[in-house]
Chains A and B, each alone.
Chain A
């Protein structure tokens, strides 16, 4: 059956929310600026206990390092102010985060290089996302524990989430627990449901095939 390109009727007088285009060279294509901070979750908000919280680095099936909350908080902290871009089209400019860069994590684990070319992030609730290892290094990513100088709220990924602002925000996995370095790229939760494997907002890589 041939595909029919239908042009939907315009509803007279309908205007969506005002979408400001002023920050135009800070905005990737198809995005608009928002002043609120929408919450999007693939499942219920987990409520972990900090006494049993652990963050770990793995290479395949081997654990390379593990930190308790106290130990993790004692690692070198970084503060960044970045723009974030959600695949659902909102962008939030100038957001400030504090956490531990993945570079610092690797160093704390005694590694000078990532053990494998890709990394799969595992989170409470079973969420996963995949990235090339080089996209989390060189200061491009951190495990963030504070947003806007406050402890990261549970619905925004607290106590700790990945922050990788140069990619669409679904890659900044909430409730991060394990960073597993793997040899071959493997689609995570949304990537196995039609979203792009890489997710560069500047090339508008929202869905697979984009």
Chain B
């Protein structure tokens, strides 16, 4: 899904763009940049002819440098389908090639190519049903936030449990909004756990997501639709523990952050 190095020196050919079944590259323009945490920013985008999306889907982003060098990465869509703009939330990774650009350099007016929405596998709609059991680590929250925003927008009261692992309280992405969503008392329960440093007086989770935490958050007898997103190790550990607790494999969907570099 994302190339690691340049594909080749020549720009990509685009054979025929008018078929409705094709998913063309579109030119997105940044309209606003929102600082979420010191390392995480949300880009609000204007995307011409955006066909709409479902909560949980992602886009491929392609950057072209002055010398024609191209790099491509995938990012989850942070905004709800109901939002008027497409939003991406991006964490700046130390050794990243693209994220230092998108999460630090980019400013309003900048443009890059984008295609999507992609993926019906990791999607929640009201038709999927509930309860909803969401598990995220760090910037894995992004597609799950789109789901929570969608759930709020359609005023769903399907029970939802969100287990969110962050390093410290300052690293919680969308912190204020999560508090507001929980305060709606519409069936959403949020559990935070901090792996590096807990806030003053914190009595909640103070360790990595483990079996006990998953068991407490939502029991298998509720048959929740489960979505897990985050670093590979968190996702694989959580998925294995959930199966061990008795959750059905078919109800568990995972999305991992991988290193870059598959075709294209």
A interface vs B, CB < 8 Å? Answer: 1-17, 19, 30, 32, 38, 40, 88-90, 206
Residues of B within 8 A of A17 (CB): 5, 97
CA distance A1 to B71 in the complex (A): 28
The contact of B4 among A1, A13, A14, A88, by CB within 8 Å, is A88
Chain B contacts to A: CB under 8 angstroms: 3-6, 8-9, 11-18, 25, 27, 62-66, 69-71, 97, 101, 105-106, 110-113, 261
Given A11-B111, A16-B6, answer yes or no on A6-B65 (Cβ-Cβ < 8 Å): no
Assess whether B11 is in contact with A10, with CB atoms less than 8 Å apart. Answer: no
Tell which of A6, A14, A19, A90 touches B63, judged by Cβ atoms closer than 8 Å: A14
A206 to B105, CA, bound (A): 33
Q: Which of A11, A88, A206 has the most CB atoms of chain B within a 10 A radius of its CB?
A: A11
Q: How far is the CB of A115 from the nearest CB of chain B, in Å?
A: 37
Q: List 28 A-B contacts (CB under 8 A).
A: A1-B16, A1-B18, A3-B15, A5-B11, A6-B12, A7-B11, A8-B11, A8-B70, A9-B27, A9-B112, A9-B113, A10-B66, A11-B111, A12-B111, A13-B105, A13-B106, A14-B65, A14-B112, A15-B65, A16-B6, A16-B65, A16-B69, A16-B71, A17-B5, A19-B69, A30-B6, A30-B8, A38-B261
Interface contact A8-B16, CB-CB below 8 Å: no
Residues on the A chain within 8 Å of B70, using CB:
8
Smallest Cβ-Cβ distance to B97: which chain A residue: A17
* B31 → A minimal CB distance (Å): 15
| B62, closest chain A residue (CB) | A8
Q: Is the CB of B101 within 8 A of A11?
A: yes
Which residue of chain A has its CB nearest to the CB of B113?
A: A8
The residues of B that contact A13 with a CB separation of less than 8 Å are 101, 105-106, 110
**Which of B6, B9, B62, B106 counts the most A-chain CB atoms under 10 A from its CB?**
B6
